[in-house]
Structure 1
């Protein structure tokens, strides 16, 4: 884990008044709490903000011994995030992706008091820059910190994650699986303990033993057993090692070493510090195992582990080439496709298969070109509500917490079809080849399957009809696949027309996509309405309309661009962009120019040019050429120099 580029030797740079101060995430109560619905609110007035060189004399990012980088929780209830950070301790590639290398630290003359971290946020990597002022109580870090308290990678990463979520309080309670996805951009599985046949449980532990060195492994207590409160309810732990030992009676036992983010030894079970279990193995092995534990760690045997813990969370490993590896076959999942979508009330929120409106849900084609191991991933964007019940492990807590994001129950089903021309109603009434057995409130889940070559129909859904939300559909596979959205039943079909021939009226419109203002991204994003809306008219007698979108950039720096055309309805109160476009130039292309011709009926239209991702900046020019059927003028007059006539030039600011 520990990259030497981070810990450069040198003399501590003195404090400077020119150090970076993050005004977007200030050292104030607003960065600590918002709703004041957790115990953290009562401590806000006592918290001070200090830079690492004010906390200790020799701050560094990482300790020399990776084991000293294990995290302790502090007074913030984010054990789930701290456990997920163990994935970065096992993969230097992931660490460098989340914590970019060569950032100047406290011994570097270039040190400016700021750090940048990256998180995988709803389908793309985003950067979060913070200053290094950290919350403290009595000159000591009050939130997460490492066993080596002079190492600051974890509290800095925690601060960046808190900024991404709005404040530290937003990290109070969560899922290890969600944090693993945010830190790796990969896949995660949750395995319930004590559920299913003994053979499946045995297979699970054997697989954990094989994955222990490459995967992030954690376990959670969701319902603590009576008399075992030392583990804590709704609490997550990190599994730091798994190994076989042999008892004095030649019996094999599978032992798991577990780390408690509380950072203190609270386990008093059969294999606790003074437990009876150590008497059944030879003193030499007993001494060796006990010498390996740090403060907060303990050993537990498999049977007792299954009694005390409720589930295991497994983060998929990543190859040296950056590919996610299947935890079941070890094959690299080298092909990735993803698309965004929305469930819209009255249009595409058809609910579960229990509803007759199920066919209204968004539908996608997956073309599998060779027999492949495939993971179909559905990720929903949490929706913001004014009050919600916080959860960990899917179990609500007793306190209510304002300003919390909540999740819908969602599912995904897949049908194999022989060809793209098929009977939709008949297909959806037949059993799917794979699908969720029940709709899940997980932020992300996946279906694991082996798919044969051909076309497959994918239908993501919410459990309740007319439930609105946004989602990301991802496909990762061992073989080549193509993911696309099913087109509307009666789209406007593009036509071929030569713009150099005939009589054309030309409208040119210049504009720009600007971050936070007019760069809303594609229709898959809720910010789509921020894009420029350009009106134009199709007159009577028009045969063809040709739309050309050109971006102003160098050819090697092209953004993915496209556009949609909407017919203005007679009822002006209808929300235009919430409906389906009558014509489109998609998928978005990394090209300087995209162009398409359509046969549009006379009337008023709106054209919406967009980049595929939001917050991308560029200028653009739209050219709308309208071909009019009219006879050429016969005249004996002699004309002067030819003028290039432009109807209107509008500059979008």
Structure 2
């Protein structure tokens, strides 16, 4: 179970006070945590790290991509994302809180954070791990006494129901869960010649990048090619570099196989002749190490020739486009395809298509110097991996966008008989999330997310990103006020404020709160070290404003029901946050 309210410190303190090691009742050391359909051929023994090695460490010498070695579970998509996560210390610390260990105040309990449907949630686990003959069965580190990656995999398995639920997936899924970012997919066979620049910008802007080789049938899954690459297998992109070779520039790309072995054997592979033809300084620049660790360099042209799909998880919608960060308006949708009412299927089913959920979009202004406005749409199926044990799998989903009039909120059946969509998803596909970027004239639109077939049920989450107009930018000024309030209380420039400074920051932002409310806000938004990040500070203020507004509405409603005409206005702060 994932927790919106942190429980780690409370559970750990309880174990320390009682002198016991934590045993997670929500994810027990039993077969139910391992599988829901395919029982392992051998029996596993659950062991704590100190029962496996004499000197267990959470992280040894800093977390790195070499700590990611795949075990007997088909979750290479997850491991490729974990390897990318290690390239950015701040992102890693958000998911894998530091200062966890097996020595000081050890209680057999660890915790991790994942982004789920627009907020960070905590997952707490005990450190009992499945083993066979005293070796970890699933994800493990190259260092036998290092356990952070194995425990991270366990926490992610708990989040999704069990280990078997992690079999097969899309690297973008885990990348988004690690960052709260926005995923985009590129076809290397169709993409333009500037793909090198796209990847370069992605890595420079802390985006996470993965790749894979397409397969034509399930029989090709994890088939090894003559060049040493694995089909239908997730890789992570960890570097990009241009060097001089025989007096000419050569573009190289560094790729990692989460197996921790099996590498490319063509040009620029570990033992290829090309390395003997370049200066030793280039070796140092590329940090070239010739060993079978799953990581290798290859010419960028060969990369585009052999790999078919590139996945990029952007921390902002702007990461790959332009040199400056623009202001974005984000619209969030929560919906459900319900059989018999809102599960109408795609346009192939005109009798029911109009019954699908519909959402109003408004593009205020064109992008600077252009006639159209940028719009990004992302539709995500919720909890499908967790529901696998009930026989539920990913649905084939897509969406369409229709031009609408200002007064249109829900388009009737007749509308769709005479109007075509102005934009739509490139295809219908059975993935957790589909995301696409469009250029459309300013105006009003209706977004219609659908399953391919009618009568298929699922909960979904949607995000719409559009460039902010001057109106939105005026509202954005309130964000700068909040940022100023936050920085004023961030005395050590750490990017966090102490929970003891929260009241001052909230009052600086224009709210007045009492001690009881401060205590509740600290419990909800502070981390285990009683620190509050800026994003949680914003969420705290959004929750405060929403609560104040709701109180005002309820107060007026209550007074109206009593047949009185006394309406006292609860004054909202002048420096409040709007539409964030």
Question: Would the TM-score normalized by the shorter structure come out above 0.5?
Answer: yes
Equivalent residues of 2:336, 2:459 under 8 A apart? yes
The CA distance in 1 between the partners of 2:54 and 2:386, in whole Å, is 44
The CA distance in 2 between the partners of 1:404 and 1:84, in whole Å, is 26
State the shift of 1:289 in Å: 4.3
Q: 1:588 to 1:463 in 2, by over 3 A?
A: farther
The CA distance in 2 between the partners of 1:596 and 1:348, in whole Å, is 34
State the shift of 1:137 in Å: 2.7
Partner of 1:204: 195
Equivalent residues of 1:333, 1:476 under 8 A apart? no
The CA distance in 2 between the partners of 1:589 and 1:474, in whole Å, is 26
Q: 1:93 to 1:450 in 2, by over 3 A?
A: farther
Partner of 2:331: 337
Partner of 1:617: none
Post-superposition Cα deviations, 1:495-535, rounded to whole Å, max 9, x if no partner, equal xxxxxxxxxxxxxxxxxxxxxxxxxxxxxxxxxxxxxxxxx
State the shift of 1:271 in Å: 2.9
Q: Which of residues 214, 225, 228 in structure 1 aligns to 2:226?
A: 228
Partner of 2:320: 327
State the shift of 1:36 in Å: 1.2
Partner of 1:80: 77
Partner of 1:314: 312
Q: Which of residues 33, 36, 39 in structure 1 aligns to 2:35?
A: 33
State the shift of 1:554 in Å: 7.2
Q: 1:340 to 1:475 in 2, by over 3 A?
A: same
Partner of 1:351: 345
State the shift of 1:117 in Å: 1.6
Partner of 2:430: 441
Task: Please list, as runs of the form range in 1=range in 2, the aligned pairs for 1:96-175 lying within 5 A after superposition.
Answer: 96-101=93-98, 104-109=100-105, 111-175=106-170
Asked which structure has the greater CA Rg, the reply is 1
Equivalent residues of 1:382, 1:407 under 8 A apart? no
Equivalent residues of 1:385, 1:404 under 8 A apart? no
Post-superposition Cα deviations, 1:76-126, rounded to whole Å, max 9, x if no partner, equal 221110111134323344333323455x522323x3211122222344433
Higher relative contact order (CA 8 A, sep 6+): 2
Q: 1:87 to 1:238 in 2, by over 3 A?
A: closer
The CA distance in 2 between the partners of 1:141 and 1:188, in whole Å, is 31
Q: 1:245 to 1:597 in 2, by over 3 A?
A: same
Q: Which of residues 588, 591, 605 in structure 1 aligns to 2:550?
A: 591
Any gaps of 5 or more consecutive residues in structure 2?
A: 1-15, 367-372, 473-514, 522-545, 564-580
Q: 1:593 to 1:57 in 2, by over 3 A?
A: farther
Equivalent residues of 2:84, 2:237 under 8 A apart? no
Post-superposition Cα deviations, 1:574-608, rounded to whole Å, max 9, x if no partner, equal xxxxxxxxxxxxx998634754999xxxxxxxxxx
Higher fraction of helix: 2
Any gaps of 5 or more consecutive residues in structure 1?
A: 1-13, 318-322, 389-401, 483-552, 559-586, 599-621, 628-653
TM-score by length of 2: 0.70
Q: Is 1:49 the counterpart of 2:46 in the alignment?
A: yes
Q: How many corresponding residue pairs?
A: 462
Equivalent residues of 1:193, 1:306 under 8 A apart? yes
Partner of 2:60: 63
Equivalent residues of 2:160, 2:385 under 8 A apart? no
Equivalent residues of 1:336, 1:475 under 8 A apart? yes
Q: 1:272 to 1:326 in 2, by over 3 A?
A: closer
Task: Please list, as runs of the form range in 1=range in 2, the aligned pairs for 1:287-298 lying within 5 A after superposition.
Answer: 289=286, 291-292=288-289, 295-298=293-296
Equivalent residues of 1:187, 1:316 under 8 A apart? yes
> Superposition RMSD on alpha carbons, in Å?
3.6
Q: Which of residues 215, 218, 224 in structure 1 aligns to 2:210?
A: 218
State the shift of 1:458 in Å: 1.1
